[in-house]
Amino acid sequence: MTPRYSSVTEIQKDLGSGVITLTELVQYYLDRIQQNQHLNAFVEVYAEEVVSRAKEVESKIKSGTAGRLAGMVVGLKDNLCYKDHVVTASSKILEGFTSLYTSTAVQRLLDEDAIIIGRLSCDEFAMGSSNEKSVYGPVLNPVNEKCVPGGSSGGSAAAVAADLCLAALGSDTGGSIRQPAAYTNVIGLKPTYGRISRYGLIAYASSFDQIGPLTHSLEDAFLLLDVMSGPDGFDGTLYNEKYTLSEVEAKPLKIAVLKDCLYREGLNVEIKERFLSLIEKLKNEGHTIEEVNFPFVDQLVPTYYVLTTAEASSNLSRFDGIHYGYRAKEAKGIEETYKKSRTEGFGTEVKRRIMLGTFVLSSGYYDAYYSRAQKVRRVIQNKTNEILSQFDVIITPTTADTAFEMGKKSADPIAMYLEDIFTVQANLSGHPAISIPLGKKKNEMPFGVQLLGPSFQENHLLQAARQLEKCISGF
Ligand code: GLN
């Protein structure tokens, strides 16, 4: 569907000229959420709070003191802490848990006068590719309600796509922003690892996790990045320079196409055809495109799963039935409390990953799996850097196919894991990557194109994405 507004600039223009008031705008989104409850994207709506907040921001607009995000109505993935608001990572184990502090990313949105409208469902602990694994039940894809919206930030993608809010925050550990963005026809940006503080993001795999925006426009995505980025003193892996949005002059691009992705069995023919015609079009417009080898495509997903499950098994050890959320009722003694609370509180997929992660870290297997996967990660990083030393960007389809029918991959974890075949590279290497809508299959299901660029050079990624977007809109 076409959203009423596709960027905050449009909103600010209408607010300025009196076409709409902020109170009316907030009401518009509240009504949309109400009418689309069946999508199951929002698990909580801050209805009263946003009305008073709209008034507050309105008076700031009048007095000329409003921040850069005044007019932006944003939804939050259910793994971002927001003080005095419930956060559960869509897991039973965090049932009823209220944040004690606000994450840096969310605080910075508030400081620039964004309005946070509610909390969005995700796969439990951000583990998944379909948003079927949420304690709140599956989220539906607004494009086709029989299909999944992708995951794990499926609630965020569905909410933006269905115009329930202007933008949403998600988190991307292996593709969880870009894959659902592609499946719902919106833009999804995973910044360079270290760009946005992870303070207040419920950890899944700490050396992979990045917060990022899902939006309708490139300008909103990079504006949100600008607002959220930069040091805060709370995340030791944070880059010490903030990102500042600036439009880099458009120049012909040198683009690398990964042969091993493009000619891979399993890439849907309609996606491939459209991708190839995009390449033709880009060539005709004066860009240089070369097919390059990336011989590690088969290693991407296994390496990702060894390392992320290892990190998850450690990160999730804090959920013990004592400190947070859910505690098993009948448990006696500390050990039984741990065991029963974790057995009852975690879902099957999360348990699978904790066990796998514990296994790859256990003595005797550490060298064979964990330590080896770390080395493979380095090889993948080096190869990606080598390609990016010769090219401005790497392009691939975001996903091998479009959104699948609900339930289709539930019984097959490997098929689900392979959903991320083209997206995990950027998380293993740390590079920024973005998915923008590329087209639709004959059955109307959307898909995206992914651009991966050099670390901490998001303005170059923006410039490249702008050129691609222009090119795509013309055919
Ligand atoms: N689908 C991937 C996983 O299940 C990615 C999740 C993510 O990026 N949070 O781990």
296 inside domain: no
Report the largest interatomic distance among the alpha carbons of the chain, rounded to a whole angstrom: 71
Query: CB–CB of 399/157 below 8 Å?
Result: no
388-398 average pLDDT score: 98
Query: Which structural domain range is residue 201 located in?
Result: 8-228
Residue % of the chain over a pLDDT of 90: 96
pLDDT digits (tens, 9 = 90+) for 257-302: 999 999 998 999 999 999 999 999 999 999 999 999 999 999 999 9
420 Cβ below 6 A of ligand 1:
yes
Residue 184 inside a domain? The answer is yes
Q: What is the pLDDT of residue 63?
A: 95
Which residue, by CA, sits nearest to atom 10 of ligand 1?
Answer: 127
Element (H, E) at 452: strand 446-452
In whole angstroms, what is the distance from residue 457 CA to residue 202 CA? 26
Q: Is pLDDT of 437 > 90?
A: yes
Within-domain flag for 198: yes
Q: Is residue 442 part of a domain?
A: no
The verdict on the CB of residue 406 being under 6 Å from ligand 1 is no
90 CB near ligand 1 (under 6 Å): no
> Is residue 176 situated within a structural domain?
yes
Residue 19 lies in a domain: yes
Given pLDDT bands bounded at 50, 70 and 90, which one contains residue 475?
confident
Ligand 1 binding pocket mutation candidate from 120, 152, 412 (most atoms within 8 A of CB): 152
Q: Tell me how far the alpha carbon of residue 428 lies from the centroid of ligand 1, in angstroms.
A: 12
| Within a domain: 84 | yes
pLDDT band at 1 (very low <50, low <70, confident <90, very high): confident
3-class secondary structure per residue, 223-263: HHHHHHECCCCCCCCCCCCCCCCCCCCCCCCEEEEEHHHHC
pLDDT tens for residues 197-249? 999 999 999 999 999 999 999 999 999 999 999 999 999 999 999 999 998 88
What's the average model confidence in pLDDT over 408-431?
A: 94
Copy the structure tokens of residue 429. 């290497």
Alpha-carbon torsion, ordered 390, 197, 172, 9, to 10 deg: -80
CATH code for position 58: 3.90.1300.10
Looking up tokens 């459209």 gives: 274
Span from the CA of 300 to the centroid of ligand 1 (angstroms): 13
Q: Which atom of ligand 1 is nearest to the CA of 419?
A: 1
Q: Please give the tally of structural domains in the chain.
A: 1
Q: Which residue has the tokens 């995340």?
A: 235
Task: Tell whether 368 is covered by a domain.
Answer: no
Q: How far is CA 303 from the centre of its chain?
A: 20
Alpha-carbon span 343 to 341, nearest angstrom: 6
